[in-house]
Amino acid sequence: MSKPTQQQQEMIEKFQCPGCVSGSDTKCGSFEFFEHKEDFFNCSKHCPGTTVNLHQLIALGLPSGFNVCLRLEQEGGRGLRLPYIRLQTDKKPTFFTWLDIPVWYLEKDGYLFIKTYSPRTLLTAVEVYKGCTKDDIKLTDDVQFPRDVAESSTLMLSAGRP
């Protein structure tokens, strides 16, 4: 297992560790660095522990609109909630297609947050890019440009499209 760089560790502690049931930093004892090829990295043992309305878990380290944790159904009807967070330090946003649709984005404190939706798997993800702007987002012709969350007071999807 590889070790995170200082910059990767700082991003994990800033965006995943707050509110995690395992601890508030990467010295929690459960920390497990995961790097998917060279596409993204995160802590694979992250488990959000903050509850809203008694049933919705949120990841405290992410801004509003990006912090709601996904719910997946397991066998036996038990629900599993997980935030699918992809962190990036020195890479530009991936080339988005209709298989991985950027829904909305936010530029904040030197980071670019992009909420994506994958219609083939019905999963969402939050991508966090350090040092990127909306001008770095690359789209194919069949994908609309995502909405800027800072310009909208509500985040809603209508008919599955932004």
Return d(Cα 48, Cα 69) in angstroms, integer. Answer: 8
Which residue is listed with tokens 């019905």? 122
Question: Given a cut of 80, is residue 93 above it in pLDDT?
Answer: no
75: which 2 tokens? 């066998």
Contact yes or no for 118/124 (Cβ under 8 A): yes
Mean of the pLDDT values across residues 94-107? 81
pLDDT the model gives residue 118: 81
How many residues make up the chain in this entry? Answer: 162
SS (H, E, C) the chain: CCCCCHHHHHHHHHHCCCCECCCCCCCCCCCCEEEECCCEEEECCCCECEEECCCEEECCCCCCCCCECEEEECHHHCEEEECCEEEECCCCCCEEECCEEEEEEEEECCEEEEEEEECCCCEEEEEEEECCCHHHCEECCCCCCCEEHHHCCCCCCECCEC
Question: Given a cut of 70, is residue 135 above it in pLDDT?
Answer: yes
pLDDT the model gives residue 58: 85
Q: How confident is the model at residue 151 (pLDDT cuts 50, 70, 90)?
A: low
Tens of pLDDT along 32-70? 998 887 678 899 888 888 888 777 788 889 998 888 876
Does the pTM exceed 0.85? Answer: no
114: which 2 tokens? 């992009």
Question: Given a cut of 70, is residue 78 above it in pLDDT?
Answer: no
Q: How confident is the model at residue 82 (pLDDT cuts 50, 70, 90)?
A: low
Where along the chain do its domains lie? 6-151
